[in-house]
Structure 1
Amino acid sequence: MSPESLPSPRPCSMSDALAVLGDSYSLPLLRELFYGFHRFSDLATLTGAPRTLLTGRLRKLEDAGVIVRRQYSEHPPRYEYHLTEAGADLIPVILTLKEWGERHTGDGVAKAVFRHSCGAELHPQATCSQCHREIRPGDFEVMGGTHPPVLHA
């Protein structure tokens, strides 16, 4: 195939999401916000992010509408960071990544356990909103938009 006949990359919402969340420290920041830590000093300590890098990540997440900055002290000016509605929508993503990491990585770190408000241990999974069965490879088809791609040999 000549370079002119190769398909161009198609738009992809997963790539768009990774452009916002894929930087180092972005997901650990969101994890700590989800756990209830909101102050810059706590976020720096808990993520291990250098302060200048942390500032940039927080600004990027704020610009993307994932978090909001709220002033809690005027003298000196100090801010807390909180999840927006868009940030709260990431909770299932963060929980699912945590669950995947615990199943498939061997980092030797003690695993956190989450309890749902019903009292059960929480193990997130993707399910169909209609039939409530777990979604597995081969259980769905992609239609519309730029999917599926049409590649010509």
Structure 2
Amino acid sequence: RWTALTIAAAFYRVRTFGGFQQALGIATNILSSRLSRLTELGIFTRSGQGRAEYRLTEEGLSLFPVIVTLMRWGDRWFCDAPALILSHRSCQQPLVSAMKCDQCGEAIGFADFYY
């Protein structure tokens, strides 16, 4: 669970070890382990010494749809109202996550695919 929360915090522009620790309330040994592992996996890149910054890589940024979908799931099933409303920068409208077929554009759900 700390791994997902650490990635989510990075999408809130948390960048430093202290920032992650404060935002998450995570023990420093666990946080150190998670940041090291996420850096090894290429999700984060680490820059600087001492007060290093952790930034999402292209691979990490590609998790954005997953994070948004999890946020919306939590808003629907655990909250009376969304904790945070994301808006599309260019049109200012609320962002709603939806899976769509990249060929025909039709919205898809679990019953709409096969393997």
By the TM > 0.5 criterion, same fold? yes
- When residues 139 and 109 of structure 1 are mapped into structure 2, their CA distance, relative to the original with a 3 A threshold, is closer
Task: Structure 1: give runs of 5+ residues left out of the alignment.
Answer: 1-23, 143-153
- When residues 51 and 69 of structure 1 are mapped into structure 2, their CA distance, relative to the original with a 3 A threshold, is same
Matched, 1:84 2:57: yes
TM-score between both structures, scaled by the size of structure 1: 0.70
Pairwise CA distance, 1:137:
2.1
Matched, 1:70 2:47: yes
Q: Flag the structure with higher helix content.
A: 2
1:98 corresponds in structure 2 to: 71
2:108 corresponds in structure 1 to: 135
Dislocated runs of 4+, deviation >4 Å: none
The number of residues matched between the two structures is 114
Matched, 1:119 2:92: yes
> Distance between the aligned counterparts of 1:30 and 1:91, measured in 2?
9
Give the one of 18, 22, 28 matched to 1:51: 28
1:42 corresponds in structure 2 to: 19
Pairwise CA distance, 1:105:
1.8
Q: How many percent identity over aligned positions?
A: 31
Task: Structure 2: give runs of 5+ residues left out of the alignment.
Answer: none
Letter in 1 for 2:78: T
Give the greater-gyration-radius structure (CA): 1
Letter in 2 for 1:115: S
- When residues 130 and 102 of structure 1 are mapped into structure 2, their CA distance, relative to the original with a 3 A threshold, is same
- When residues 109 and 49 of structure 1 are mapped into structure 2, their CA distance, relative to the original with a 3 A threshold, is farther
> Distance between the aligned counterparts of 2:108 and 2:25, measured in 1?
35
> Distance between the aligned counterparts of 1:103 and 1:110, measured in 2?
8
Letter in 2 for 1:50: A
